[in-house]
Structure 1
Amino acid sequence: MSQIQPQPPAQTVSAEDWANERGQKWCDQLSAMEATLDPVDAPLIDALQLDRPLRIAEIGCGGGGTTLKILRNAPAGSSVHGIDISPALVEKARTRAATETGDIAFHIANGERAPAPAGPYDRLVSRFGIMFFDDPEAAFSNLSSWLAPGGRIAFAVWGPPPQNPWMTSLREAVVQVMEVPEPDPDAPGPFRYAGGEKLLGLLKAAGLRDLEVRDWRGTIPLGGGVPPEAAVDFAFSAFSLGDLLAEADAAVSADVRRRLTQRYAQHETDGAVHMDAHVHIVTGTRPD
């Protein structure tokens, strides 16, 4: 078994990473990433309860795909803002929104400490953007201040790793051929709030009420619906463990690729890899 030293804990990605290399990497894979995560958008937008003209902000908006969907689903007269820490992703989002006729804007800001760019907001939404704060207590307290009294949140976070094989299959293939550290469950990363209770406690401490967790279970089309070999390329490019594989011996990388291709092939239907996913959609309100 091969070993690379030194290494950071696998699947640990900080806000600073997103502002720089990780944000650029997401930008480079934007079409495939948005197509992969597309099934989560509808239940998340539904949880926002867009029942009248509203001021809405998406935290960690990335390249703006979900922000644009929110604008198109919101009642006329709504204002929608996308917030992200990555300049590359915000620039991409602004370019995509240039032809939109509705009230939409994108801002470079860190929700952990920045004031609301144009608040207060009636709705705050995030699709997998709240798990990477360096100081989550401060972050959720700050985001609560962005909300108008009576305002509502809808945050999507990943459920337990065993119920998200679309994401964990790469790690399972890697650990068969090389040693990697166990991820720190309390560090910034995709499964930080997999249990749900930790996030509920943070949101309650931030002053939010009427908190509820609804689970969404479905299938994720890797790379937007591509065959196993292309899905492996997507995983190597999109997931943080791909950075370790880029440093590994070529034979190790090839072994992981072979194992992962075999795994993905078991989930191929009509030329596309679809794998199970489990998402917590957490809602709550700021008291009047």
Structure 2
Amino acid sequence: MSDFSAVRVDPSNSGQLDTWNGDQGAFWADHAERFEDGVARYHPGFLDAAAIGPAEDVLDVGCGSGRTTRDAARRGASALGVDLSARMIDLARRLAEREGVRNASFEQADAQVHPFPEAGFDLAVSRHGSMFFGDPVAAFGNVGRALRPGGRLVLLTWQPLAANEFMTAFRTALAAGRELPVPPPDAPSPFSLSDPERVRHLLTSAGFTDVRLRGVNEQMYFGRDVEDAFVFTSHRYRDLVRELDDDTRARAFDDLRTSLAAHETPEGVWYDSAAWIVTARRP
């Protein structure tokens, strides 16, 4: 197990370190396969956008269980995956060893301040892992310095909350009539890189050029049937009902089941979603 107490972390990311080495990191590690299944339809297009070449050096930021890192290595690259979560890094290493992927390595690190080798990579990628930096300009600047001149940055980030049916449906069900707060647009959250103008401003401020966003829409998988999806989603979004009394929580869970049932198909429970593929270059 990684010793996260020794990880150098910017103070603005200390809360994220606590989160990802706490219950949330454990839940993601325990359900890594389900999370991979959830975004599986995005993965081929993201890899195509990255255009990973053989013998390239690739940095995967917020690598999670390491799927993108391993796939980069399978394409002939030498790939390093970094993540704040000790549990996820340990899992990524085990999966790479089990699958015989030898040119992928993993390190627990805060990409905002980690001393990557300067100009050490041809490509930096992040699939839904770049939205949680306390200081995104500093973080992307640090990643940019790790890229060689002309190096590429490819991100997959969520479009705004309103464009993502899965999140709006779950929030509506579990709100139980309340107005749930939405994180400020400049706070670390799944939607902190959802506004194209903000993305362009952050990346150009960090020294990147040729910043482009392309919208992609895919369905996300949440379970083989209603009950399977309910067990997963009710735990995944349990913080939304933590302060409710028992009766109100039960009503919220009933509403969640109703929503899941409305999205059940013979192939499982699916919701619409929307993301950006963001590309940029280091001059």
Q: TM-score, normalization: structure 2? A: 0.88
Asked if structure 1 preserves the Cα contact closer than 8 Å seen for 2:72 and 2:78, the reply is no
What is the CA deviation profile of residues 203-231 of structure 1, one whole-angstrom value per residue up to 9, with x for unaligned ones? 11111111111111111111xx4212221
Match for 2:244: what amino acid?
Answer: A
Asked if structure 1 preserves the Cα contact closer than 8 Å seen for 2:119 and 2:145, the reply is no
RMSD: 1.9
Q: 1:235 — aligned with what?
A: 233
Stretches of structure 1 lacking an aligned partner (at least 5 in a row): 1-12
Q: 1:57 — aligned with what?
A: 59
Q: How does 1:1-288 map to 2 (within 5 A)?
A: 14-16=15-17, 17-72=19-74, 74=75, 76=76, 78-99=77-98, 100-116=100-116, 120-178=120-178, 180-222=180-222, 225-239=223-237, 242-270=238-266, 272-287=268-283
Stretches of structure 2 lacking an aligned partner (at least 5 in a row): 1-13
Change (3 A) 1:275 1:121: same
- Partners of 1:267 and 1:44 in 2: how far apart? 25
- Partners of 1:117 and 1:86 in 2: how far apart? 21
54-63 or 182-191, larger mean C-alpha shift = 182-191
93-102 or 79-88, larger mean C-alpha shift = 93-102
- Partners of 1:23 and 1:65 in 2: how far apart? 16
- The alignment partner of 2:116 has SS state of coil
Match for 1:276: what amino acid?
Answer: D
Q: TM-score, normalization: structure 1? A: 0.87
Aligned residues: 268
Asked if structure 2 preserves the Cα contact closer than 8 Å seen for 1:178 and 1:252, the reply is no
- The alignment partner of 1:276 has SS state of strand
Q: CA deviation at 1:126?
A: 0.4
- The alignment partner of 2:51 has SS state of coil
Q: CA deviation at 1:179?
A: 5.0
Asked if structure 2 preserves the Cα contact closer than 8 Å seen for 1:14 and 1:134, the reply is no
Q: CA deviation at 1:15?
A: 2.2
Q: CA deviation at 1:59?
A: 0.4
- Partners of 1:111 and 1:19 in 2: how far apart? 16
- Partners of 1:66 and 1:247 in 2: how far apart? 36
- The alignment partner of 2:233 has SS state of helix
Q: CA deviation at 1:101?
A: 4.1
Q: CA deviation at 1:280?
A: 0.3
Match for 1:56: what amino acid?
Answer: V
Q: Percent identity, aligned pairs only?
A: 33
Higher relative contact order (CA 8 A, sep 6+): 1
Change (3 A) 1:96 1:103: same
Q: 1:8 — aligned with what?
A: none
Q: CA deviation at 1:118?
A: 8.8
Asked if structure 2 preserves the Cα contact closer than 8 Å seen for 1:67 and 1:82, the reply is yes
